[in-house]
Amino acid sequence: MPDYKAPLRDIKFVMTELLNSEQHYANLEGAEDATPDMVDAIIQEGAKFCEQVLSPLNRVGDIEGCVWSQDGVKTPTGFKEAYQQYVDGGWPSMTADPNYGGQGLPSSLGLVMSEMVGTCNWSFGMYPGLSHGATNTIEEHGTEEQKQTYLTKLISGEWTGTMCLTEPHCGSDLGTLRTKAEPSADGTYAITGTKIFISAGEHDMADNIVHIVLARLPGAPEGTKGISLFIVPKCLPNEDGSAGERNAVTCGSIEHKMGIHGNATCVMNFDGAKGWLIGPENKGLNCMFTFMNVARIGTAIQGLGAAELGFQGSLTYAKDRLAMRSLSGAKNPEGIADPIIVHPDVRRMLLTQKAVAEGARALIYLTAQQADVVQRGKTPEERKAADEALGFLTPIAKAFLTEIGYEAANLGMQVYGGHGFIAEWGMEQNVRDARIGMIYEGTTGIQALDLLGRKVLMTQGESLKGFTKQVHVFCKENADNEQLKEFIEPLAAINKEWGDLTMKIGMTAMKDREEVGAAAVDYLMYSGYAVFAYLWARMAKVALDKMAEGTSEEMFYNAKVQTARFYFKRLLPRTKTHAETMLAGSASLLDMPEEAFAI
Amino acid sequence: MADYQAPLRDMRFVLNEVFDAPSLWASLPKIAENVDPDTADAILEEAGKITGGVLAPLNREADEQGCKWNDGEVTSPEGFKEAYQTIVEGGWNGLGGNPDFGGMGMPKTLVAQFEEMMQGANMAFGLAPMLTAGACLALDAHGSQELKEKYLPNMYSGVWSGAMDLTEPHAGTDLGIIRTKAEPNDDGSFNVTGTKIFITWGEHDLAENIIHLVLAKLPDAPKGPKGISMFLVPKFMVNDDGSLGERNSFSCGSIEKKMGIKASATCVMNFDGAKGWLVGEENKGLAAMFTMMNYERLGVGIQGIGAAEASLQNAREYANDRIQSRAPTGAQQPEKAADPILVHPDVRRMLLTMKSYVEGGRTFSTYVAQWLDISKYAEDDERRQHAEGMVALLTPVAKAFLTDRGLETTIIGQQVFGGHGFIREWGQEQLVRDCRITQIYEGTNGIQAMDLMGRKVVGSQGKFYELFAQDVATFIEENSSDAALKPYLEPLAAALERLSDVTEHVINQAGDNPNAIGAAAVDYLDMFGYTALAFMWAKSVKAAAPKAEGDTSGFYTGKLKTARFYFDRLLPKTVSLAEGIRSGSESMMALAANEI
């Protein structure tokens, strides 16, 4: 397994040099603590914890997996202790509400920590990650009493949380869910039903688990408008706040799955379990949506992490492994062969991973800054604009990054040749773990519908324009910069084409209701490459400016420019295909009779 | 999880309707002796039964069990021994083998269909007969008469199995640096000493004996690839009367824990002065390996299609059964809680992509198999040489493109299942894990691309490429007045022109820039593959169009619609690939190793 090294230099580059985090944090309400020194210290500490504590547990988690018995779920060796250290370090409370024990730091800083945790041990990271979802729900929609009871414990990390949405017959289509909530005389509800795919639904790391459950009240309207949210704790809280007797909710089994073995994916059986309504009746889905964007950025990080970990592992191997000679003459004549990093195709694989990992980091941090502004922007206008930007960028980040992150993870494995397929090297685990990213939290297909249907076309293209305008301004500002020309010209062309394509699809969609579904995934992928072009051009600019000023880190900045160049020459051309196929219309998808699929 | 059903209908379409294989077979006297259309059809039918009925049901559980190693012995998963026995008794092991030594002498065009079924039903199992067939090919081509008589009949029957021992811990792609030694004995045999890794089915309990073909270096052999020889090293010595003698001095040190094909043993083999016999000439071991390489590489490509076909069968069943959300144009099945997910355009995009790759891939593998048959059996020199050129050119494409698309297809097949695709019991994630190795072994796909671009295309100064381009051009010309084909011929011609331009471009670049080939290779192979599949789909349209009118089965109309999808939605990938290739090598080579 590659030893994870937190990419601190690049994290700093993206945060401070590309996105000017110092200014950004200064502009936020209540982020006074996020001073540059503080931010630095937090990231350093987090990096140490990830490298020394979590990274070594990644293979263990995969090999041992979680073990289910009647008594509960046992997590892999070392997970429980690591979680305790995580709690002792105060990590669960980092970005939470200070009124309930949180440290009140901005979300974007929390996501840097999530990146490091998730890259070195995604299975572990999902436990606190899921708590985060429950924390957000209660923070946003809970009553004061609910906050005192549950939020404080979630924020301290003493208890963890889950989100119980999926049922055996419904995943993408939550409108058809069947779990019932019957009101009891004391104002609570009896929850009955079966939930599946509940990550971290049962484990041995914390005293209590707080489930946020989607269920239907008696007589609720059909479909998505009849769903309510409930808090259902594993153990009912005592008067003194401690975890008391067991509630009627049990983990029936855990799934045997392709990857993320260290995280328990549970079937949860609710058998008249005691629950408390959170938020208004029948508005459960709306309540969920209030923080869906942040949750999806959390999942997008899986794509970044897969690319980063694969890159770190394969770079080490490519420098060590000797095979064949360079085509332009021996580079390591004293050895029996040259290190494989001399071969162009190995470089193609490494550079693709590097371009994906660093581009992904830029996109995640950019998106996370929008989330900060939504939560803490000083004016309503700022908050509203950020909310639109966030809504636009989130499905792109989630789907595009998990797709290309998975591709990158596969390349990392490919660099190892046959050894990549062998478990002990850890590269195949990275691929298996990464695969789920494209599925959960809304599949790529669902994200694509969200982007094209709800975000772009429903706003008449306004949300896209909000972004392309920025790109346009950037291109204009740098139009005379000779060094940047190789980036600015293709970027400007893509930016224009993006708008044109959107217009064309919009026109077709007015006549053909199938058009959005037919074009969506290609549109999303195109958008991802376009956003990356903007970010890579900006990163190239920062690097070129630094080199012009004179720097002792010439090598670092030069690598940025070269990677940007690789991106523009080798990856951005993929937009050509997506542009053509997204306009292919729905007929070639829908004309095929159903029977003909089955032959 | 759907029960795997051999796709016999489509295989017959490809063999009989697209390629008219019976006419090909009739034109090759050595093949005509052994096969006629009825025999071929009966073989397909039986193969379908045995792969679907015997091999497929073992696939899921065998993945969970894996192989077990204990003190040098390997136990295969439950049921494998019996299944292997069934395969042996049915004579399947020697289907394509030389009849002089007990093989059945069937053409590759037909054997390829059986291979696809076996690999689709159970890839881990399928590797055992596949490795044996490869070892037999090498032995048949290069072994002495004595070795052939002694070993081939039992290997063709499957009573003994074969293994290929190439890789060492420090040497995989670069076999020139292997260290295993072979010291000559007085009796003409050799003592082989060294460690081999990644030896598929190197040790097991399926067969009575295991015949290893081992690459090793003779004392004072030249350095590099020209100092490698091939040795036959049996697990048990074979007595003169054919009975088994004592155990040879090598053993399996351990088996690998790996991502997929868990039910096949991937062995570390330790040779400790093991007795072996030279196969072929001294120091010509690598060349000898290459004779079977074309067959093996096509075989690996076929594994990609096999896994993809299995994934497609599961995915379309699931897409029909799983109900979720309503169609964008209104409820299609209002009596149900939701519509089957097959109504959603994006689910169709996924299924049609799978179908395009699987059926197009099957057509392509059969196309390549056809050239293999001609190159092996044609009596006319010119015809044979032409076919050899095609085989040389197309083999790396078949291996890499079909496994790349195979993996992509299995990943899509997993995506159709949503969260269930990640769960083992549904089988879709296993197909991804199993298929993943096909991009790596038998020469990684990067190596295939170098072979295509460097040795085949640039190496022949475009001569081999011209053979293929001419075949496509002739098809376009011959069918230019066919109205049904017209919508496909135009984009096919455009794709061919694009590929030809890029080919010329890279040949020109390669003169001054040694990195040009490596920088272009993978994208070029991909582009070649997409263009070749367009050709296959056009050929399929030609075969299907006349029968589509009044077709109530949906088979022929389905072909036409899938072809249209392929041209609209997948062929455009060549546009992006061409642009990437033209950008050259500078952006890849500019960074120093420490800058990366």
What is the reported pLDDT for B1? Answer: 66
Q: CA-CA distance, A588 to B536, in Å (whole number)?
A: 18
Q: Quote the pLDDT of residue B232.
A: 98
Judged by CB atoms closer than 8 Å, whether chains meet at B562 and A562 is answered as no
Q: Is B423–A166 a contact, with Cβ atoms under 8 angstroms apart? A: no
Arithmetic mean of pLDDT over chain A: 96
Measured distance CA(B517)–CA(B458) in Å, rounded: 8
The predicted-structure confidence for A262-315, as pLDDT tens digits, reads as follows 999 999 999 999 999 999 999 999 988 777 778 899 999 999 999 999 999 999
How much is the average pLDDT of A50-72? 97
Q: What is the pLDDT of residues A362-406, one digit of tens each?
A: 999 999 999 999 999 999 999 999 999 999 999 999 999 999 999
Give percent above pLDDT 90 in chain B. 90
Q: Which two tokens stand for residue A526?
A: 């195109």
Closest CA to A573 of A304, A352, A315, A310: A352
Cα B16 from Cα B10, distance rounded (Å): 10
The active-site residue, picked from B359, B442, B478, B586, is B442
> Which of A346, A348, A591 is the closest to B561 by Cβ?
A591
Stretch B266-289: mean pLDDT: 96
Rg (CA), chain B: 24
Which chain A residues touch B594 with a CB distance below 8 Å? 555
CA distance from start to end of chain A: 44
**Could you state, in order of their start, the residue ranges of all structural domains in chain B?**
452-587
CA A434/CA A573 separation, integer angstroms: 25
pLDDT, one tens digit per residue, over B428-444 is 999 999 999 999 999 99
Phi and psi at residue B161, to the nearest 5°: -115, 170
What tokens does A75 get? Answer: 């997590």
CA distance B84 to chain A (A): 26
So what's the pLDDT on residue A345?
93
Of the residues A308, A358, A388, A441, only one is catalytic, namely A441
Rounded to a whole number of angstroms, the distance from the CA of A169 to the nearest CA of chain B is 8
Q: Which pLDDT belongs to residue A599?
A: 60
Percent of chain B past pLDDT 70, that is, above it, reads 100
**Percent with pLDDT over 70 in chain A:** 99
> What is the distance, to the nearest Å, from the Cα of residue A300 to the centroid of all Cα atoms in its chain?
2
What is the C-alpha to C-alpha distance for residues B438 and A296, in angstroms, rounded to an integer? 33
Greatest alpha-carbon span in chain A: 83
Q: How many interface pairs between A and B have CB atoms less than 8 angstroms apart? A: 274
User: How many angstroms separate the CA atoms of B155 and B201, rounded?
Assistant: 14
Q: What is the mean pLDDT of residues B342-350?
A: 94
A1 pLDDT above the threshold of 80: no
DSSP lists the bridge partners of residue B269 as B196, B252
Contact residues, chain A, for B174 at CB < 8 Å: 322-324, 337
Q: How many helices (H) and strands (E) does chain A have?
A: 22, 11
Output the DSSP codes for A369-426: HHHHHHHH-SSHHHHHHHHHHHHHHHHIIIIIHHHHHHHHHHHHHHHTGGGGGBGGGS
- The rounded Cα B517 to chain-centroid distance in angstroms is 24
Residues from chain B that touch A565, judged by Cβ atoms under 8 A, are 587, 590
- Quick check: B200 and B264 in contact, CB under 8 A? yes
| Mean pLDDT for the stretch of residues B475-484 | 96
Residue A534 has pLDDT above 70, yes or no: yes
**Angle formed by the axes of helices A284-320 and A401-415, nearest 10°:** 20
Q: What pLDDT, on a 0 to 100 scale, did the predictor assign at position B291? A: 77
Is there a catalytic annotation at residue B73?
no
Kindly list the residues from chain B whose CB atom is less than 8 angstroms away from the CB atom of residue A568: 587
Extract the tokens encoding A432: 């298996």
Beta strands in B375-461 (DSSP E): none
Residue type, B421: G
Nearest to B580 among A417, A448, A570 (CB): A570
CB atoms within 10 A of CB A36: 13
Distance CA A160, CA B225 (A): 59
Are A304 and A445 a contacting pair, CB within 8 Å?
A: no
pLDDT by residue (tens digit) across A345-357?
Answer: 999 999 999 999 9
pLDDT over 90 at A414, yes or no: yes
- Residue B589: the pLDDT is 85
pLDDT score for A116: 98
For the stretch A225-249, pLDDT in tens is 999 999 999 999 999 999 999 999 9
Q: Mean of the pLDDT values across residues A6-17?
A: 98
Cβ–Cβ gap A596/B320 under 8 Å: no
Q: How large is the ipTM? A: 0.93
Q: Do A570 and B588 touch (CB under 8 A)?
A: yes
DSSP assigned state of A499: H
Give me the pLDDT at residue A173, please.
87
The alpha-carbon gap from A561 to the nearest alpha carbon of chain B, in Å, equals 10
CA of B564, closest CA in chain A: separation in Å? Answer: 6
Q: If you measure CA to CA, which chain A residue comes closest to B423?
A: A257
Residues 6+ away with beta carbon under 8 Å from B93: B87, B129, B132, B133, B155, B156, B157, B158
Report CA dihedral (A196, A199, A205, A210) to the nearest 10 degrees: -70
Give the Cβ contact number of residue A191 at 10 Å: 27
Q: Cβ separation of A417 and B355 shorter than 8 Å?
A: no
Tell me how far apart the alpha carbons of residues B321 and B324 are, in angstroms, rounded to a whole number: 10
pLDDT tens-place string over residues B360-410: 999 999 999 999 999 999 999 999 999 999 999 999 999 999 999 999 999
Q: Three-state secondary structure along B122-157?
A: CHHHHHHHHHHHHHHHHHHHHCCHHHHHHHHHHHHH
Residue range A430-488, pLDDT digits in tens: 999 999 999 999 999 999 999 999 999 999 999 999 999 999 999 999 999 999 999 99
Read off the pLDDT band of A318 (50, 70, 90). Answer: very high
